[in-house]
């Protein structure tokens, strides 16, 4: 091989080697970029229970705690909001978004909103001692004219026997229809859960009964309408859901789940033998394998009904069979406070110890 041919061959080899090195480097850069966008760079600092999970229209995840305010997660890091930033209380009961993109927080003592930069308090701050009407504030109306529309947001009203309705412009406090006082020692009709029904009805679960409102009249479910003896088997409602089939699920702290289909109401937990024979049907701790203290209920996009129990973990009902998931399945504890399905049909579970899990279809993966 002459010198000229050797030189051409050497240049060709060097060119090929440089091309391979450049291609491999590009692959590494691409993989590194993908890794940066998928790996969590921060972790949730809450140690109290996760009462609310919500995904906003921008894809951010909001987590409401029992004692530490709210946190928003953008996929990489968390930002925290407490009473120091303007929240009415650090205990968060629910999180919603209105049609203008404002994020709303229902706290233990009031309602706050976030416009992306500042938090606005829409109700009187501080704990109130069972008032019958809400105080008159600049952005809160005390008119008791019940009505509803598609743009409404609804909120619990602390210890009051009524709710807040946000009509897109103002917050209104509304009293429930007067009810017989069945037990003077209970804060009977403070709202514990709200569910938008599929049949133009919104349901309000209170400790001692359910109010269903369709825009013109109320449906009322309580111990008296059910024929229950309050001393033996009292309602103590903590969760409520109307599913896609129009069935109403009512979760209690003591007597399990009631199921209303049409005009019929049964004790779903009793039917499936999930009330322990020795249960006192009140607030006493229950063994695993029961469904007696139901603090949250949700429906997924496949029609499965999910229950979060205080003592017995997570339950899934597919319409025929029940499955139970507890610490034996990898959960850090068996007290479930919130269940939420996001825009990608992924189920999130908030636990009483501040842990958050996602369900991948087969198992629970701890996220934070």
Per-residue pLDDT tens digits for 26-39? 332 222 222 222 33
* Cα(324)–Cα(319) distance, integer angstroms: 14
Please, is 166 exposed, middle or buried when counting C-beta atoms within 10 Å of its C-beta (0-12, 13-18, 19+)? Answer: buried
For the residues 46-69, what does the mean pLDDT come to?
97
For the residues 131-159, what does the mean pLDDT come to?
71
pLDDT at 8 over 80: no
pLDDT at 318 over 50: yes
For the residues 177-197, what does the mean pLDDT come to?
80
pLDDT at 233: 74
pLDDT at 244 over 80: yes
pLDDT at 91 over 80: yes
How far apart, in Å, are the Cα atoms of 219 and each of 163, 243, 281? 16, 17, 25
Beta bridge partners of 237: 252
Residue found by looking up tokens 């303007």 in the block:
86
Give pLDDT tens digits for 220-232.
Answer: 998 888 888 766 6
Closest CA to 51 of 35, 74, 68: 68
Give pLDDT tens digits for 329-353.
Answer: 999 999 999 999 999 999 999 999 9
Contacts of 79 (CB under 8 A, 6+ apart): 71, 72
pLDDT at 256 over 70: yes
Q: Which CATH code for domain 58-366?
A: 2.130.10.10
* Cα(356)–Cα(68) distance, integer angstroms: 15
Contacts of 228 (CB under 8 A, 6+ apart): 234, 235
pLDDT at 108: 95
pLDDT at 144: 76
For the residues 84-91, what does the mean pLDDT come to?
96
Q: Is 323 left (phi over 0), alpha (psi -120 to 50) or beta?
A: beta
């Amino acid at each position: 091989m002459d010198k000229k041919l050797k030189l051409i061959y050497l240049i060709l080899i060097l060119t090929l080697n440089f091309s391979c090195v450049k291609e491999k480097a590009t692959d590494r850069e691409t993989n590194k970029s993908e890794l940066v966008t998928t790996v969590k760079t921060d972790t949730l600092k809450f140690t109290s229970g996760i009462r609310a999970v919500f995904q906003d229209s921008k894809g951010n995840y909001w987590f409401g705690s029992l004692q530490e305010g709210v946190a928003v997660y953008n996929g990489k890091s968390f930002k925290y909001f407490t009473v120091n930033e303007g929240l009415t209380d650090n205990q968060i009961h629910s999180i919603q978004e209105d049609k203008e993109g404002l994020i709303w927080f229902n706290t233990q003592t009031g309602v706050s909103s976030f416009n992306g930069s500042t938090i606005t308090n829409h109700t009187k701050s501080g704990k109130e001692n069972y008032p019958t009407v809400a105080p008159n504030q600049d952005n809160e109306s005390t008119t008791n004219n019940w009505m509803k529309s598609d743009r409404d947001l609804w909120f619990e009203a602390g210890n009051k026997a009524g709710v807040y309705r946000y009509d897109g412009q103002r917050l209104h406090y509304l009293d429930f229809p007067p009810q017989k006082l069945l037990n003077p020692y209970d804060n009977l009709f403070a709202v514990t859960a709200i569910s938008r029904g599929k049949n133009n009805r919104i349901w309000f679960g209170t400790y001692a009964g359910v109010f269903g409102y369709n825009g013109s009249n109320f449906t009322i479910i309580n111990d008296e309408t059910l024929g229950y003896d309050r001393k033996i088997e009292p309602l103590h409602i903590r969760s409520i859901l109307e599913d896609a089939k129009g069935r109403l699920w009512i979760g209690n702290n003591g007597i399990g789940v009631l199921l209303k289909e049409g005009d019929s109401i049964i004790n779903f937990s009793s039917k499936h033998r999930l009330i322990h024979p020795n249960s006192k049907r009140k607030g006493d701790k229950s063994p695993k394998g029961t469904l007696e203290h139901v603090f949250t209920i949700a429906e997924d996009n496949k029609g499965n009904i999910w229950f979060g129990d205080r003592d017995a973990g997570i339950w899934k009902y597919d319409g025929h069979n029940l499955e139970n998931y507890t610490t034996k399945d990898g959960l850090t504890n068996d007290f479930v406070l919130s269940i939420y399905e996001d825009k990608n049909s992924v189920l999130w579970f908030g636990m009483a110890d501040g842990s958050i899990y996602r369900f991948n279809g087969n198992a629970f993966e701890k996220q934070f």
